[in-house]
Amino acid sequence: MLGAEAIALGAIDEGISGVYAYPGTPSTEITEFIQKSKEATEIKIRSQWSVNEKTAYEAALGMSYAGKRSMVCMKHVGLNVAADAFINSAITGINGGLVLVVADDPSMHSSQNEQDTRFYGKFSFLPLLEPSNQQEAYDCVRYGFNLSEQVKLPVIIRITTRLSHSRSIVLRQTMTEQNEYRAETDQSKWILLPHNARKRYSALLDIQKKLVAISEASPYNRIEKGEGKNGIIACGLAYNYVKETLNAYNLNYPILKISHYPLPDSLLREFFATCDNILIAEEGYPIYEELLHGYFKNKKLKGRLDGSLPRTGELTPDIIARALGLKPNESAKTPEIVVGRPPELCTGCSHRDLFDAMNAILNEQSEKHVFSDIGCYALGALPPYNTINTCVDMGASITMAKGASDAGMHPSIAVIGDSTFTHSGITGLLDAVNDKNAVTIIISDNGTTAMTGGQKSGGTGRLKEICIGLGVDPKHLRSIVPLKKDFEKNVKILREEFNYQGVSVILACRECIQTLKQKK
Amino acid sequence: MTIAAIIDQAAMFNNLFIKQAEVHGMSQRGGAVQSHLRISDTEIYSDLISMGTADMIISLEPMEALRYMPFLSDKGTIITATKPFINIGNYPDENKVIDEIKNSGTNYQLLDIESLAQKAGNLRTRNVVMVGAAYKYLGIPQDLLEKSIRQLFAAKGDEIVSQNLKAFKLGLGANA
Distances in Å between the Cα of A385 and the Cα atoms of A119, A362, A512, B113 are 38, 11, 18, 34
In a domain, A329, yes or no: no
Is residue B25 within 8 angstroms of chain A, CB to CB?
A: yes
> Among partner residues A110, A331, A339, which is closest to B25 by beta-carbon distance?
A110
In a domain, A417, yes or no: yes
Least trusted range by pLDDT, from A115-124, A138-147, A489-498, B98-107: B98-107
Distance (Å) from the alpha carbon of B125 to chain A's nearest alpha carbon: 19
Confidence of residue A202 (pLDDT cuts 50, 70, 90): very high
**Is A76:A108 a contact under the CB 8 Å cutoff?**
no
Domain count, chain A: 3
Among chain A residues, CA nearest to B27 = A343
* Separation of alpha carbons A352 and A21, rounded Å: 29
**Structure confidence at residue B29 (pLDDT):** 64
Same domain, A7 and A136: yes
pLDDT by residue (tens digit) across A249-284? 999 999 999 999 999 999 999 999 999 999 999 999
* Separation of alpha carbons A269 and A379, rounded Å: 49
CATH number for A198: 3.40.50.970
Looking at every residue in chain A, the average pLDDT score rounds to: 96
Contacts of A166 in chain B (CB under 8 A): 19-22, 36, 47
**Is A122:A87 a contact under the CB 8 Å cutoff?**
no
Q: Hey, where are the domains in chain B?
A: 2-174
> Among partner residues A165, A317, A379, which is closest to B50 by beta-carbon distance?
A317
**Is A114:A104 a contact under the CB 8 Å cutoff?**
yes
Give CATH for domain B2-174: 3.40.920.10
CATH number for A245: 3.40.50.920
**Mutation to test the A interface, candidates B15, B23, B47, B104, most A Cβ within 10 Å:** B47
**Mutation to test the A interface, candidates B34, B48, B101, most A Cβ within 10 Å:** B48
In a domain, A339, yes or no: no
Same domain, A393 and A309: no
Query: Which positions 101-160 of B are in contact with A (Cβ < 8 Å)?
Result: 104
Contacts of B47 in chain A (CB under 8 A): 162-163, 166, 168, 240
Please state whether B110 falls in left (phi above 0), alpha (psi between -120 and 50) or beta.
beta
Same domain, A235 and A201: no
- Check CB contact under 8 Å for A318 and B51: yes
Interface A:B, Cβ pairs < 8 A: 147
Task: Between B139 and A34, name the one with better pLDDT.
Answer: A34
Domain boundary among A206, A237, A261: A206
**Structure confidence at residue B175 (pLDDT):** 65
Contacts of B36 in chain A (CB under 8 A): 166
Same domain, A104 and A187: yes
In a domain, A338, yes or no: no
> Among partner residues A25, A341, A343, which is closest to B24 by beta-carbon distance?
A25
The residue-averaged pLDDT of A160-171 equals: 94
**Structure confidence at residue B139 (pLDDT):** 86
Same domain, A513 and A463: yes
Distance (Å) from the alpha carbon of A92 to chain B's nearest alpha carbon: 35
Domain boundary among A206, A230, A246: A206
Distance (Å) from the alpha carbon of B172 to chain A's nearest alpha carbon: 26
**Structure confidence at residue A456 (pLDDT):** 96
Compute the half-sphere exposure of residue A101: CA atoms within 13 Å on the CB side of its CA: 38
Domain that holds residue A173: 3-206
Domain boundary among A145, A174, A206: A206
